[in-house]
């Protein structure tokens, strides 16, 4: 038997390229720590010796305001440290690549995820199977998908919510709060819940903005307003505060920023610091690490939610491949990233209908890039865009 990691001339990693895209959002997306008007995505393309290719995405939110990685640091970590270590290796050995990169590079989980997705995509394409198949097979064809209300204005948010319900696009709404006073935020949530009534589930994401004291008032008010879940009310490292809140109120407490891979997942679960995990592929460090976070939640009896970093269709397709294999997603998903952007970068856009997002079909992650869109949105100006889309 060929030893794992042995170089096959056929599947050798020949080249790893990255580029940054800046795509405007359809409206300002007002979060507690930043207002987004553009989303920036880092795309990775891996070329293998047999001519096959794999693509991946590593995306964060609001520059450096959400977490420790920026689009520029993601690109530079891949170009400078990961690509040189991986070129020449057997491209079929995804686990070996993940383990090697984990040894060579601390943290930088979003950069790791981008490369790992491209490796899975390439492997799936070479084998003619989806990435979901590589993870044991899809058990869902579609998944419930939330929309985030974050215009910064209650009236606009209500109009947006009612329009989404009417169009059967979303009936789960995540409201971004934490920028205003707690009382004002609770009043804003209550107005929206009252407007949508039983036609929709209303949840909030505080993106770490509250102190424990704020959160005590906030959870009490949100619960009374009919809000079902609060995501990361306090800073990621406040595990005891999260545990107090999870134990003290009926409203579900979901961990997001606190979950950077399986080690965090184990600590959050064992300290009872959440009822639900928002599992993000990027934040976990890739599809495999995200699957480990999922397994920890399942073993601990916690709820699961498919989280996003507002990736383009590419990163969204990759996440859908993994979450298609997860038996119970009690809280659904928020894989709506492409819908927040003014333009689509996939030639085969992801389908949203009947309050669900459909799992892309086809080999690998099931995403084909639109070369002209890549050309238009790439930060460095468009000279090799057709190459990235494989033309």
Q: How far is the CB of 276 from ligand MUC (least distance, A)?
A: 12
Q: How far is the CB of 61 from Mg ion (least distance, A)?
A: 9
Does position 154 interact with ligand MUC (CB under 6 A)? The reply is: no
Judged by CB under 6 A, the residue of 58, 144, 233, 307 near ligand MUC is 307
Does position 302 interact with ligand MUC (CB under 6 A)? The reply is: no
Residues numbered 201 to 230 that lie near ligand MUC (CB under 6 A) are 205, 207
Does position 370 interact with ligand MUC (CB under 6 A)? The reply is: no
Would you call 151 exposed, middle or buried from its count of C-beta atoms within 10 A (0-12, 13-18, 19+)?
middle
Q: How far is the CB of 329 from ligand MUC (least distance, A)?
A: 15
* Span from 131-139, 247-255, 262-270, 306-314 in contact with ligand MUC (CB under 6 A): 306-314
> Phi first, then psi: what are they for 347, rounded to 5°?
-75, -20
Q: Which is nearer to Mg ion, 185 or 205 (CB)?
A: 205
Q: Which is nearer to ligand MUC, 159 or 387 (CB)?
A: 159
Give me the residue label for tokens 């990736």. 311
Return the C-alpha torsion angle 186, 167, 197, 34, nearest 10.
-10
Q: How far is the CB of 37 from ligand MUC (least distance, A)?
A: 14
Q: Residue with the closest Cβ to ligand MUC?
A: 148
Q: Which is nearer to ligand MUC, 176 or 288 (CB)?
A: 176
Return contacts of 232-236, CB within 8 angstroms, 24+ apart: 232/205, 232/206, 232/207, 232/208, 232/256, 232/257, 232/258, 232/278, 233/206, 233/208, 233/209, 234/206, 234/208, 234/210, 235/208, 236/208, 236/260
CA distance 60 to 83: 20
Query: What tokens were used for 264?
Result: 């965090």
Residues numbered 316 to 335 that lie near ligand MUC (CB under 6 A) are 334
Number of residues that bind ligand MUC (CB under 6 A): 10
The site partner of 225 among ligand MUC, Mg ion, none (C-beta below 5 to 8 Å per kind) is none
Q: Which is nearer to ligand MUC, 148 or 291 (CB)?
A: 148
Q: Active-site positions?
A: 176, 334
The set of residues, in sequence order, having a beta carbon less than 8 Å from that of 381 and lying 6+ positions away, is none
Give the binding site for ligand MUC (CB under 6 A). 61, 148, 150, 205, 207, 256, 307-308, 310, 334
């Amino acid at each position: 038997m060929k030893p794992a990691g042995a170089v096959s001339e056929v599947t050798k990693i020949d080249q790893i390229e990255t580029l940054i895209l800046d795509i405007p959002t359809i409206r300002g997306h007002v979060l507690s720590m930043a207002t987004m008007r553009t989303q920036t995505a880092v795309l990775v393309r891996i070329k293998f010796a047999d001519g096959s290719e794999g693509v991946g995405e590593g995306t964060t939110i609001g520059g450096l305001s959400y977490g420790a990685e920026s689009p520029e640091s993601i690109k530079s970590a891949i170009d400078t440290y990961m690509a040189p270590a991986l070129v020449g290796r057997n491209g079929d050995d995804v686990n070996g690549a993940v383990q090697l990169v984990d040894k060579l590079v601390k943290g930088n989980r979003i950069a790791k995820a981008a490369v790992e997705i491209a490796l899975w995509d390439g492997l799936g394409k070479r084998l003619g199977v989806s990435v979901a198949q590589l993870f044991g097979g899809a058990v869902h064809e579609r998944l419930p998908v939330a929309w985030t209300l974050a215009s910064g204005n209650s009236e606009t948010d209500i109009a947006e919510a009612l329009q989404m319900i009417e169009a059967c696009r979303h009936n789960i709404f995540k409201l971004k709060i934490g920028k205003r006073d707690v009382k004002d935020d609770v009043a804003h949530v209550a107005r929206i819940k009252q407007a949508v009534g039983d036609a929709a589930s209303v949840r909030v994401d505080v993106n770490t903005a509250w102190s424990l004291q704020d959160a005590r008032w906030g959870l009490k008010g949100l619960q009374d307003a009919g809000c079902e879940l609060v995501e990361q009310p306090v800073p990621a490292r406040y595990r005891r505060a999260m545990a107090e809140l999870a134990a003290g109120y009926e409203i579900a407490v979901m961990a997001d920023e606190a979950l950077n891979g399986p080690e965090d997942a184990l600590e959050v679960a064992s300290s009872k610091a959440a009822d639900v995990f928002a599992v993000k592929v990027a934040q976990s460090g890739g599809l495999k690490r995200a699957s480990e976070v999922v397994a920890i939640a399942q073993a601990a009896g916690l709820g699961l939610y498919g989280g996003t970093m507002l990736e383009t269709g590419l990163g969204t397709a990759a996440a859908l491949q993994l979450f298609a294999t997860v038996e119970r997603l009690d809280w659904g998903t928020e894989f709506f990233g492409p819908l927040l952007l003014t333009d689509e970068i996939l030639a085969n856009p992801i389908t949203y209908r009947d309050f669900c997002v459909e799992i892309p079909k086809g080999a690998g992650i099931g995403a084909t890039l639109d070369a002209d869109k890549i050309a238009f949105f790439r930060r460095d100006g468009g000279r090799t865009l057709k190459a990235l889309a494989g033309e």
